[in-house]
Structure 1
Amino acid sequence: MAEFSAPFDDAPIATQSQWSRMARRWGLDGVHASDPASTALKITGNGTGNVVLQPGEAFVNGFYYLNDAVKNIAVTANAGSTTRVDTVILRASMSAKSVVAVYKTGGSTAPTLTSDENGIYEIPLAQCTVAAGSSVVTAVNVLDRRWFTDRGVMPSIPGARRPSIRGQLLVEGTTLYVGDGATWLWLGSAGQDDTTYTPAWTAGSTTISWGAGSQNVGRFQVRGKRVDVTIQLAPTGNPGNINSPLMVTLPPGYPATPAMRSVFTWTYTSTNSQGSGLGSGIVFPDQSATKIGALRYALPSGSASSTTHTITNGIPWDIQDGSILTIDGSYWLA
């Protein structure tokens, strides 16, 4: 196929087919309405031999359609012995060079729409049920089946939003909102897709190495101001006893807010006869917002002075080959 481009002074849009192809890229086929509750091109039944089409506008196969007054559309009588399901459509016709509202009969199910971009192209407005031997459609026998054309996402300047539009998407910076007609509701903010990092483990001023070939992986995802993170450690070596609390880094570039402590859950299991346990990991923002500063567990009832203790490498377990320590939870960004 030869290349084609237009419109230019010496290469205008010369045919309706060229126009349709171009205009279809501007927006989706459908009714122009700010809200599905709008009556734009809505079909109603009133118990007569007609259904009623309200004023409105639409795109059909790239062509513009306008109905600027209430229009009656005749119901085709059902001469059969069973209920019939019909559809009111907008039909764009290349041969007729028009878009018109049409009552299209079906059968036990609604009729199939035609979608020939170079011939007949149809979109639905309503589904109508007609009883056997009748040509009457009542209000309860009409189902709204309008397609709506999109408006795209609307950019906005913080502090200068236009009034809320129901169903409209709005972007301010990297934050997405949706309108409900009264206000703009937060949908989401830019974050970080699912990714991994290598946690750094320390105990006091000592950097811990868990042995060559150990599994030491952090997996995280950021949604707006919320970070979900899981850390799993499976050592291959034994760094020995270190009499300081174990600490591990949070995802790089995503420090926890200093406004609150963040709490995680940890679990420990071992295949070398050291048993298992679980407890809480805590971020102390006044000490460091970039790491979990303590992994704590409960002591038995009646233990002296306190009911929790902090894990060190040696107390209560000598974390080494055969151990698995998993930390899981969420925290807020500043």
Structure 2
Amino acid sequence: MAEISYPFAAANEFGGTEMVSQVQWQAMANMWGGDRVDFTLASESYASETLPFSATVINGRTVEIQPGRAWVGGFYYQLTSSATVNIESNPTERDRKDTIVLRADVTKGSVNLAVVKGQPSASPVAPQPQRSPGGTWEMVLYEVTAPKYDGAIVLSLRAPFKMPPAVTVPWNMRPAAEFMERGTFLYDMDNNGGDTQHEAWVGRDGYVVTRHFGKSRPYTPSLVRASNVPSSGFIRTGRWRWIAPNTVFFSVSLENTTTKAITNTGGSTSLGFTLPQAANANTGQVIQGWLHNPNYNSDLPNLASIVAFVWKGNATTSTSMHIASRAGLDEGYDTLRVLPAKSTLTFSGVYEADVFSE
């Protein structure tokens, strides 16, 4: 029959079957999750000897492996007491890399520890694990460096571990995250419509939004260090979103539609604009923008590059804007002290925020 499905309470004429073979079980069980050690890395740090399947070299070329549990190729494995494997000698003049694996052998009907020997080479590469459904399936626990002339072997942990399952909440994800294990991804579905659908991570550094989904979020930027912002005719538009942990993409438009220039608060003080999230200032940051001034008002060009700085120092929610000096290239940049009449400032870019209060 072309159609086969399982497992059901009884076999039937429509292709449903009751019994599940080892091969069918593996095909089905692999849909539940990939190979991994059955241990959640939820603490901030671990000593290697406290992890499942921790290993030590004894008697030169024997590796002793401690108990642990794992899921390999759709089958569950338990090592209930310590076991040993031997690394073959390498008397050649070139190094070799081997692997210690958990090998699920469907034909044999078991999962067991095994060593896979590599080839000596000037640039040795560890053998890749076999992944053959219905045959041999391997998960690497350790990469073993076997130096030339039978030098002392070195173990490097390569095992994948279980992580907490991702969870979703209808709203108020931040307080819900207080009860999650480290290493948990959370998804806010925003079912009450008060925010944006987004993802967050609970990790060693604390809680952080990792990215927004769907539409970007609006915000209203303000012009700072300005003395005469009009009550009407000054159009402020902003969009932003988290695109990665502690990383913001944003865009800003500041449009002066009036016939009067907006000026600074005096002297060489620069105009600036507010950001949607406080910016990290450990090193300072630079954001590029443009001034569109079609009428050459305030004796400025019709189109000019504007650089917005987040100066090195304390985290801040505002920038300082600068424009190429009208005195010439040799003078570099001056502070932007005026937003001309009938002109628009546009900025967009990516910057590091200060979620972790660094």
Structure 1 position 188 matched with structure 2 position 209: yes
Structure 1 position 28 matched with structure 2 position 34: yes
Structure 1 position 222 matched with structure 2 position 246: no
Q: What is the SS of the residue equivalent to 1:24?
A: helix
Output aligned runs, 1:146-225, within 5 Å.
146-154=159-167, 158=175, 161-162=178-179, 164-165=181-182, 168-171=183-186, 173=188, 176-180=200-204, 185-188=206-209, 191=212, 204-205=231-232, 220-223=239-242
More helix by share: 2
Distance 2:92 2:71 in 1: 34
Structure 1 position 268 matched with structure 2 position 291: yes
Q: Give, in angstroms, the shift of residue 126 of structure 1.
A: 0.9
Q: What is the SS of the residue equivalent to 2:33?
A: coil
Distance 1:221 1:296 in 2: 22
Q: Give, in angstroms, the shift of residue 116 of structure 1.
A: 0.9
Output aligned runs, 1:236-315, within 5 Å.
242-243=259-260, 267-268=290-291, 270=293, 274-276=299-301, 311=339, 313=341
Out of 86, 90, 102, the position equivalent to 1:74 is 86
Out of 101, 108, 113, the position equivalent to 1:101 is 113
**Aligned residue type for 1:171:** L
RMSD of aligned alpha carbons: 4.8
Task: Give CA deviations for 1:236-274 in whole Å, capped at 9, x if unaligned.
Answer: xxx8x635869xxx9xxxx999xxxxxx99753556654
Q: 1:269 to 1:275 in 2, by over 3 A?
A: farther
Task: Give CA deviations for 1:80-120 in whole Å, capped at 9, x if unaligned.
Answer: 44332211111111111111100111113222321211211
Task: Give CA deviations for 1:109-147 in whole Å, capped at 9, x if unaligned.
Answer: 22232121121111111122234454x855xx1111212
Q: TM-score, normalised by structure 1?
A: 0.61
**Aligned residue type for 2:37:** V
Out of 133, 151, 165, the position equivalent to 1:117 is 133
- Decide whether the 8 Å contact of 2:130 with 2:137 is kept in 1: yes
Distance 1:113 1:33 in 2: 21
Q: 1:192 to 1:175 in 2, by over 3 A?
A: closer
Range 168-177 or range 93-102, more displaced? 168-177
**Aligned residue type for 2:40:** S
Give the equivalent residue in structure 2 for 1:300: none
Q: What is the SS of the residue equivalent to 2:253?
A: strand
- Decide whether the 8 Å contact of 1:49 with 1:74 is kept in 2: yes
Output aligned runs, 1:123-162, within 5 Å.
123-132=139-148, 134=150, 137-138=152-153, 141-154=154-167, 158=175, 161-162=178-179
Q: Give, in angstroms, the shift of residue 71 of structure 1.
A: 0.5
**Aligned residue type for 2:241:** V
Q: What is the SS of the residue equivalent to 2:18?
A: coil
| Identity percentage of aligned residues | 21
Distance 2:277 2:109 in 1: 63
Give the equivalent residue in structure 2 for 1:261: none
- Decide whether the 8 Å contact of 1:20 with 1:63 is kept in 2: yes
- Decide whether the 8 Å contact of 1:55 with 1:70 is kept in 2: yes
Out of 46, 60, 70, the position equivalent to 2:72 is 60
Q: What is the SS of the residue equivalent to 1:107?
A: coil
Q: 1:4 to 1:327 in 2, by over 3 A?
A: same
Could you tell me which runs of 5 or more consecutive residues in structure 1 were left unpaired when the two chains were aligned.
Answer: 209-216, 258-263, 281-294, 298-306
Range 59-68 or range 265-274, more displaced? 265-274
Q: What is the total number of aligned residue pairs between the two structures?
A: 267
Q: What is the SS of the residue equivalent to 1:118?
A: coil
Distance 1:177 1:206 in 2: 42
Q: Give, in angstroms, the shift of residue 70 of structure 1.
A: 0.7
Q: Give, in angstroms, the shift of residue 228 of structure 1.
A: 2.2
Q: What is the SS of the residue equivalent to 2:131?
A: coil
Give the equivalent residue in structure 2 for 1:16: 22
Range 37-46 or range 117-126, more displaced? 37-46
- Decide whether the 8 Å contact of 1:124 with 1:145 is kept in 2: yes
Distance 1:328 1:130 in 2: 53
**Aligned residue type for 2:251:** V
Q: What is the SS of the residue equivalent to 2:24?
A: helix
Q: TM-score, normalised by structure 2?
A: 0.57
Could you tell me which runs of 5 or more consecutive residues in structure 2 were left unpaired when the two chains were aligned.
Answer: 11-16, 189-197, 221-228, 264-272, 279-286, 309-320, 324-334
